Chains A and B, each alone.
Chain A
Amino acid sequence: MSARSGHIADITLLLGSAVILAALLAWISDSTRERIYRNEQAWIQQRLDALVPPRSHDNDLLTDRIEVTAPEILGIAGPITIHRARQAGQPVAAILRTVAPDGYQGPIELLVAIAYDGKLIGVQVIRHRETPGLGDAFENRDRGWLERFRGRSLADPPQQRWSVRPDGGDFDAFTGATITPRAIVKATRRALEYYQANRERIFAAEAPQ
């Protein structure tokens, strides 16, 4: 009988402390949620502003966005976010937050900014786990590499040369790393293809609120 009441005391103690700690964590989570959300937004805003200068549009990129799913063109199963830049209601550019699924060490998250006429404004890598010193050359040794996308479009270079040089394309690979640039070039081309096929729909769709 006493062994049993001992067990009950133990269980109460364990449950009690679990409930107290869970309540504490819930409170902390609740009080930091808004700030964490703002951090996340600021983080994306900073990268969007670096690609599409704030003076070139007058709408809020963060809220003027849609989510689309197109596994057959983009090559990724999940939805991607598209931010839209407008000036006085006229479309200026679309920024696709896409993913190159075939990086050397997992997916590479990209921002691909495309002007309304279909020319690339720029490409930025926002998250990656490529090998330091080799695959991440775009942020160290070969900083200008991503710049080479500026002004390109689906017609320039022609479609069959929209790949890295080792595959017969027009884009240089890094010394000692071909897989990373190949993945980025491919994802960029796919983003352009999606844009070309869906341009009007991208800008017409209502932003979900």
Chain B
Amino acid sequence: MNMQATAIGQQNRQVLLVLALCPALAVSDTTVNALGLGAAALLASVVACAAASCLRRLPGQVQWPIGVLVLTATIGATSLWLDAWLHELQRALGIFLPLLVANAAIQLRTQQCAGLAPPAAAMLGIRTGGTMALVLLTLAVARELVGRGSILHDAGRLLGDTAGTIDLQLFRADMGFLLAMLPPGAFISLGLLLAARNWFETRHLHEQEQDR
């Protein structure tokens, strides 16, 4: 009974994480967008974990609301800062930047961070947020390569003039493989990525068993 409950609990967390990825997937159509949202996700994740850890001594009822306040303030400040300094990028990320609060709030709620000292919790936040940023970036590179035949499309426009020359057109796709650019492409790519991960994991397990 206990084992079943744990299994369901763990499964739920994975389901939650995949669900939380959904809004993020929408901006994984170009590398630059994914970099922007990935960086913001990393920041939100670190803040969420550090907040959960710092607030653990506070009475239970106010921990959660104050944590959410800190998170929303962080994302709000990030959004303003982007609007001022990377205007076009902020515009491209649109509604998905504020939606990061939902992702990070899940982390705020997990007991994992609250059990650690602030520095260790921040490290955990870096690991979690970094993984998410990496997933986004992998998806975006794959989708942009297949859909547009380029890497860092529009980097000059989105990141300012200094990045103007890093836009790489590898071949003329001209939106040839359109599916990769449309929302279903994000889910197909995510599915392939998860499949690859599972394949690696089972192969690893298999090798361990053989070694024994």
Interface residues of A (CB under 8 A from B): 6, 9-10, 13-14, 17-18, 21-22, 24-25, 28-29, 32, 35-36, 39-40, 43, 131-134, 140-141
Contact = CB atoms under 8 A, between A and B. Distances in A.
Contact of B87 (A14, A25, A36, A134): A36
Given A14-B65, A140-B175, A24 B77 contact: yes
B181 A133 contact: yes
Contacts of B66: 13-14, 17
A9 B62 CA distance: 10
Given A6-B59, A17-B70, 13 more contacts: A13-B59, A14-B65, A14-B66, A17-B66, A21-B70, A22-B73, A24-B77, A25-B77, A25-B80, A28-B81, A32-B81, A36-B80, A39-B87
B3 interface: no
Candidate in B29, B76, B174 with the most chain A CB atoms within 10 angstroms: B76
Interface of B: 29, 58-59, 61-62, 65-66, 69-70, 73, 76-77, 80-81, 83-85, 87, 174-175, 178, 181-182
A153 B59 CA distance: 70
Contacts of B58: 13
A25 B76 contact: yes
Contacts of A6: 59
Contacts of A17: 66, 69-70
A171 to B, nearest CB: 22
